[in-house]
Homo-oligomer: A and B are copies of this chain.
């Protein structure tokens, strides 16, 4: 029956990207004394999960995107059936990686990572954000700032928070400071995405831009203006920095990451 395109598509969809979520897992693990050989498992899991969400989000019935990370999207490169199955299997792979003994010798930690990821991405988390996003397209009124903030907390925030909490969860330590950091970072990330959608260059970004504006969707830029959005993002990065105080100089890389999130061009 030849080589399976679904496996090729899984590999293709997992390549490239900024690896922000994997970085957060590895860096917060390092802060808590967890070895990279162990942290690489939840880091790989969150990137597989993120790749699944992009493949399904790009489908014609969803955002209908043909370009992702500078390459044709999976349903363009193969077909829709392959994109649905590859996304499905990438989600499964994420949970498989977390449940493997290599991820943590402590089964309670593995089960906690699975439970936390499931809550971050299911119908109360990421999928809720995606569903709100789709519902907004046909809503009679554009969304308010409060509604967009709620939408984004689900759509991108929950997975970023899970990633930053992975370090303390692996070490069975308090995850509250890193969750506060990630909440501010996640919202700043989304505001930066909205700014990039208006001011960015498609080739550098590796994806289609100005889609929200064309669709008449409310964004942080349409609601706050470009300067207002930039000021709000800077304020959130300051909050993210403050949340890291208890980690002292050790958290310098996470502080740099927060600055990168609003300065990035892709």
Nearest-neighbour CB distance to chain B for A229, whole angstroms, equals 22
Q: Does A147 have its Cβ within 8 Å of any Cβ on chain B? A: yes
The answer to whether B1 and A135 touch across the interface, beta carbons within 8 angstroms, is: yes
Nearest CB to that of A2 among chain B residues? B135
Nearest-neighbour CB distance to chain B for A8, whole angstroms, equals 11
Q: Does A80 have its Cβ within 8 Å of any Cβ on chain B? A: yes
Among the listed stretches A106-114, A188-196, A218-226, A256-264, which one makes contact with chain B, having 4 or more residues with CB under 8 Å of it? A106-114
Chain A residues 1-19 with CB under 8 Å of chain B are 1-2, 4-7, 10
Q: Does A28 have its Cβ within 8 Å of any Cβ on chain B? A: no
Residues of B within 8 A of A135 (CB): 1-2, 4-5
0/1 string, A126-153, CB within 8 A of B gives 1: 0110111011100100010001000000
Residues of B within 8 A of A123 (CB): 4, 6-7, 10, 89, 92-93
Q: Does A121 have its Cβ within 8 Å of any Cβ on chain B? A: yes
Q: A91-B91, A114-B98 are in contact. Are A85 and B127 (CB under 8 A)?
A: yes
Interface of A is mostly: helix
Residues of B within 8 A of A10 (CB): 123
Which residues of A line the B interface, CB within 8 A? 1-2, 4-7, 10, 52, 56, 59, 61-62, 79-82, 84-85, 87-89, 91-93, 95-96, 98-101, 106-108, 110-112, 114-115, 117-119, 121-123, 127-128, 130-132, 134-136, 139, 143, 147
A-B contact pairs, 20 of them (CB 8 A): A4-B132, A4-B135, A7-B123, A52-B88, A62-B81, A88-B127, A89-B123, A92-B118, A92-B121, A92-B123, A93-B122, A95-B95, A96-B118, A96-B119, A99-B112, A99-B114, A107-B107, A107-B110, A107-B111, A110-B114
